A and B are shown apart, each in its own frame.
Chain A
Amino acid sequence: QKEVEQDPGPLSVPEGAIVSLNCTYSNSAFQYFMWYRQYSRKGPELLMYTYSSGNKEDGRFTAQVDKSSKYISLFIRDSQPSDSATYLCAILSGYALNFGKGTSLLVTP
């Protein structure tokens, strides 16, 4: 079983919708959980990270970790066309990150 699983999508939503992106992971020892955004032909950009369980909010973005079910989520409120990108979850294991395969999001005007 891959350590981090993520539905590749694509996910298409209308502008203004709330977007929910999700990942599951297998190793309960993981502590740092990250979300990246990657635009076409660019490197991934770290959006947010959380340590251990709970929620973290940054503007329109909320990251949530449920360690009991090994589930992490990224919520985007009031989605904009500029949010159209691939979103990758990642989990820090020692020095290295284990990435999900990414979910492609399209926000239509």
Chain B
Amino acid sequence: DVKVTQSSRYLVKRTGEKVFLECVQDMDHENMFWYRQDPGLGLRLIYFSYDVKMKEKGDIPEGYSVSREKKERFSLILESASTNQTSMYLCASTSRREGGYEQYFGPGTRLTVT
């Protein structure tokens, strides 16, 4: 019953490292999203993509970039990791289908930058 998977559950990186977080969905959804979740701040949108090779900035894109070369895969890149990027990262995919709206989140990647 796999829907949205993320490449790692836990990740520890050093300041300045380049970090790749991968997300894959198997539902043929058009839209994919990257959020980060922090205590007291809730879920904040980093980037989203509504089609292959298309991307849009969310509320907090600074320090991040994304890549969507295939419909099922959406990658989040931290070009030079910093300690304030320590967070839970959540990927989601959505689609408006006949009869309603579908959305699933992945299990999350807890990233620690030291």
Q: State whether A45 touches B42 (Cβ < 8 A).
A: no
Cα A46 to Cα B92 in complex, Å, equals: 11
B residues in contact with A42, CB < 8 Å: 107-108
- Chain B residue nearest to A100 (CB atoms) is B42
Cα A75 to Cα B92 in complex, Å, equals: 25
- Chain A residue nearest to B90 (CB atoms) is A43
Hey, which bits of chain B sit against chain A, CB under 8 A?
A: 4, 31, 33, 35, 40-43, 45, 48, 50, 56, 58, 90, 92, 94, 100-101, 103-108
- Does more than half of chain B's interface fall in helix, strand or loop, or is it mixed? strand
Q: State whether A43 touches B101 (Cβ < 8 A).
A: no
Q: Which of B43, B50, B104 contacts A99 (CB 8 A)?
A: B43
Hey, which bits of chain A sit against chain B, CB under 8 A?
A: 8, 32, 34, 41-46, 49, 88, 92, 95-97, 99-102
With A88-B42, A95-B31, A96-B58: A43-B103 Cβ-Cβ less than 8 Å: no
Cα A65 to Cα B100 in complex, Å, equals: 17
Q: State whether B43 touches A45 (Cβ < 8 A).
A: no
A-B contact pairs, 29 of them (CB 8 A): A8-B40, A32-B101, A34-B103, A42-B107, A42-B108, A43-B90, A43-B105, A43-B107, A44-B43, A45-B105, A46-B103, A46-B104, A49-B100, A49-B101, A88-B43, A92-B101, A95-B48, A95-B50, A95-B94, A96-B33, A96-B45, A97-B33, A97-B103, A99-B35, A99-B43, A100-B42, A101-B40, A101-B41, A101-B42
